[in-house]
Chains A and B, each alone.
Chain A
Amino acid sequence: MSSQDVALVRRQAARARALALTTVSTAGTGHIGADLSAMDILCSLYFSVLRGGPEDPDRDRFILSKAHASAAMYSVLALKGILPEAELSTFGGADSRLSTVVSTRVPGIEFNTGSLGHGLSLGAGAALAARVQGSGRRTFVLTGDGELQEGSNWEAAMLAASRKLSSLVVVVDRNLAQKGASTEDINALEPLEDKWRSFGWGVRTVDGHDVEALLDVFHGAPLEESRPTCVIASTVKGKGVSFMERNLEWHSRRLTPDLLDQALRELEHGIDA
């Protein structure tokens, strides 16, 4: 990883945040809190880590299990040149390709996710396929934290460790929030590091908005030899917009033009968090 990469990722993350905010505001629908929570992780992966474009059969695989962060995902794909930026304005609209949870209608999307808890099994399968084909490609799965309440995740976690899938990395967007409340109040995940470790994974917790830390762990994976890697990324739902940060209402609230302006101004000047 180079310092140029860090600067590039930061720059692109700022641009992608603005695109995502504009996208959900124009559409009057979406999950902006989840988008902003995941944005630095997505940009770190797309602008420094993942190898190979959508047409390359040996590309690294990325699976957005928390598929409702779709405006973030499409914004990143637009900045990568995989999706025309102008198309973002069709998000959720009649006959658009841009479903409001990601789908394979959109170039660059590998799977139809959106029903939570599917991504890690898909990722384990993708990693097994890479092994069968003798490829060194890697597989990254981004999951929500509330999403980890789905039992299928733990079935896949067990399998990935027992098959020593060291090319598999799961990133947990640990914003502590799910839809209605904190994960710890609904169905507690802690001690989360211990859970993954006891399932046989190498685990590290990082600041999910610290690009340097993210690149460091992604480029360095696997953390432990012969083990899959779990990165618990501590994040803030709504990161970058003061009135959204840590406010559960912004899971899926409508962003009016006035509030959009305010949000974009904050992004430009940076906020005192």
Chain B
Amino acid sequence: MASTPDCATAFSAALLELARTDERICIVNNDSAETHSALGFQSELPDRFVDVGIAEQNLVGVAIGMANAGLRPFVYSASCFMASRALEQIKNAAYTNANVVFCGFVSGLAYGALGGTHHAVEDLAWMRAIPRMTVLAPATPVDTVAALREALTHDGPVYIRIVSKLDTPELFPADHGFAYGGSEQLREGEDVTLVGTGLLTSRLVEAADLLAADGVRAGVLHLGSVQPIDAEAIGRAAARTGRLVVAEDHVLNGGLGGAVAETVVRTHPVPVLQIGVPNEYAPIGPAEFLYEHFGLTPQGIAKRVREWLA
């Protein structure tokens, strides 16, 4: 299982590759080219690379203006600053149905010791609340590039929650395509289904292996498309295993767990265990320390599931 390049690097490399032949593709960024691996794009395609400086509301407004002319702007920013500071501009992008791709880098708790200003753990809830907004949270480098290709052909705004700074094992073959509004059943299981997105998906696969060693047969469902969401697959999993566990590096209010719970109460009500960031701010420490703190590791997840099923 290769772990390089990481999701963010793979995304930026693929975008540059696509931009060589698709002249509509631009990057608009906020003094963050190096952090999000966009230096190559900047030096090779300087005319289609705009750095607005440290100004996220301007960043998003500029991108919407460019999309109006038929360009395909990719807004490059740490998700903590873009999704929050420019939320109203993003909402208006959706209202306008602008073809802008919002690339939320360094998602979740990856910024570690920088603390609450830099943790991006509310973005799924914010984006999911916006009509017409497509919300994707790919799990691995291959999945992230597949999400990019999907976003490029999509009509309307897309938010992609990108894993940066943390390694994820690859789960998909190189020719994997992104299932818009669909899902990936990564493990079959009868006792419980572990549902995840983004960074947590690969950790759920490992958790399922740990649980298997204890005789718990856990299925794993990856919902890379958070909006629209695969209600059918969720309903199937609920019917088959009778219990769902949702894990995410996001607050419990309104994230993937919220989306799954909303879905099952409409289709096939079953108990749902949510694992994520409770309604509090994270302590200070390196990213992996924070993931352990909230039980968002394979071991932490397996433990919670065992306790829940006991």
Residues of A in contact with B (beta carbons under 8 Å apart): 29, 67, 91-101, 103, 105, 112-117, 146-147, 149-151, 178-181, 183, 186-187
Interface residues of B in 67-123 (CB under 8 A from A): 80-81, 84-85, 112-118
Check B117–A112 contact: CB distance below 8 A. yes
Check B284–A187 contact: CB distance below 8 A. no
Point out the residues of chain A lying under 8 angstroms from B113, CB to CB. 29, 91-93, 96, 99-100
Selected contact of B114 from candidates A94, A99, A146, A147, CB within 8 Å = A99
Check B284–A151 contact: CB distance below 8 A. no
Q: How far is the CA of A151 from the CA of B55 in the complex (A)?
A: 7
Check B116–A96 contact: CB distance below 8 A. no
Given A99-B115, A101-B117, A115-B81, answer yes or no on A180-B54 (Cβ-Cβ < 8 Å): no
23 residue pairs of the A-B complex, CB under 8 angstroms, read A92-B112, A94-B284, A94-B286, A94-B289, A95-B284, A96-B285, A97-B284, A101-B118, A115-B80, A115-B85, A147-B54, A149-B53, A150-B55, A150-B56, A178-B31, A179-B31, A179-B34, A180-B33, A180-B34, A186-B31, A186-B53, A187-B52, A187-B53
- Check if B32 is an interface residue, CB within 8 A of chain A: yes
Q: How far is the CA of A181 from the CA of B85 in the complex (A)?
A: 23
Check B55–A95 contact: CB distance below 8 A. no
Please name the 8 residue pairs, one residue from A and one from B, whose CB atoms are nearest each other, closest first: A187-B53, A114-B117, A92-B113, A99-B115, A149-B53, A94-B285, A94-B289, A149-B55
- Check if B193 is an interface residue, CB within 8 A of chain A: no
- Check if B3 is an interface residue, CB within 8 A of chain A: no
Check A187–B114 contact: CB distance below 8 A. no
Q: How far is the CA of A87 from the CA of B289 in the complex (A)?
A: 19
Point out the residues of chain A lying under 8 angstroms from B55, CB to CB. 149-151, 187
Given A95-B283, A95-B285, A105-B284, answer yes or no on A114-B34 (Cβ-Cβ < 8 Å): no
Check B54–A150 contact: CB distance below 8 A. yes
Point out the residues of chain B lying under 8 angstroms from A100, CB to CB. 113-115
Q: How far is the CA of A247 from the CA of B286 in the complex (A)?
A: 26
CB proximity of A175 to chain B, nearest CB, Å: 14
Check A112–B116 contact: CB distance below 8 A. yes
- Check if B184 is an interface residue, CB within 8 A of chain A: no
Point out the residues of chain A lying under 8 angstroms from B51, CB to CB. 180-181, 186-187
Given A94-B285, A151-B55, A187-B53, answer yes or no on A103-B32 (Cβ-Cβ < 8 Å): no
CB proximity of A10 to chain B, nearest CB, Å: 31
CB proximity of A184 to chain B, nearest CB, Å: 11
Point out the residues of chain B lying under 8 angstroms from A187, CB to CB. 51-53, 55
Q: How far is the CA of A183 from the CA of B31 in the complex (A)?
A: 10
- Check if B58 is an interface residue, CB within 8 A of chain A: yes
CB proximity of B214 to chain A, nearest CB, Å: 29
Give B116's nearest chain A residue, CB to CB. A112
Interface of B is mostly: loop
Q: How far is the CA of A92 from the CA of B55 in the complex (A)?
A: 26
Check A146–B54 contact: CB distance below 8 A. yes
Give A146's nearest chain B residue, CB to CB. B54
Interface of A is mostly: loop
Q: How far is the CA of A114 from the CA of B84 in the complex (A)?
A: 14
Check A116–B285 contact: CB distance below 8 A. no
Q: How far is the CA of A164 from the CA of B33 in the complex (A)?
A: 39
CB proximity of B212 to chain A, nearest CB, Å: 31
Selected contact of A98 from candidates B31, B112, B284, CB within 8 Å = B284
Interface string of B27-60 (1 = CB under 8 A from A): 0000111110000000000000001111111100
Given A97-B284, A115-B80, A180-B32, answer yes or no on A149-B117 (Cβ-Cβ < 8 Å): no
Given contacts A67-B117, A93-B286, A112-B116, 16 further A-B contacts (CB under 8 A): A92-B112, A92-B113, A93-B285, A94-B284, A94-B285, A94-B286, A101-B115, A112-B117, A113-B117, A115-B117, A115-B118, A146-B31, A146-B54, A147-B54, A149-B53, A178-B31
Check B286–A180 contact: CB distance below 8 A. no
Q: How far is the CA of A98 from the CA of B286 in the complex (A)?
A: 12
Point out the residues of chain B lying under 8 angstroms from A67, CB to CB. 117
Check B117–A146 contact: CB distance below 8 A. no
CB proximity of A64 to chain B, nearest CB, Å: 12
Check A151–B58 contact: CB distance below 8 A. yes
Check B53–A114 contact: CB distance below 8 A. no
Check A151–B57 contact: CB distance below 8 A. yes
Q: How far is the CA of A122 from the CA of B179 in the complex (A)?
A: 45
Q: How far is the CA of A99 from the CA of B31 in the complex (A)?
A: 22
Point out the residues of chain A lying under 8 angstroms from B54, CB to CB. 116-117, 146-147, 149-150, 178
CB proximity of B92 to chain A, nearest CB, Å: 16
Selected contact of B116 from candidates A103, A117, A146, A181, CB within 8 Å = A103
Given A112-B117, A150-B54, A179-B32, answer yes or no on A99-B80 (Cβ-Cβ < 8 Å): no
Check B53–A146 contact: CB distance below 8 A. yes
Check A183–B115 contact: CB distance below 8 A. no
Check A183–B53 contact: CB distance below 8 A. yes
CB proximity of A150 to chain B, nearest CB, Å: 6
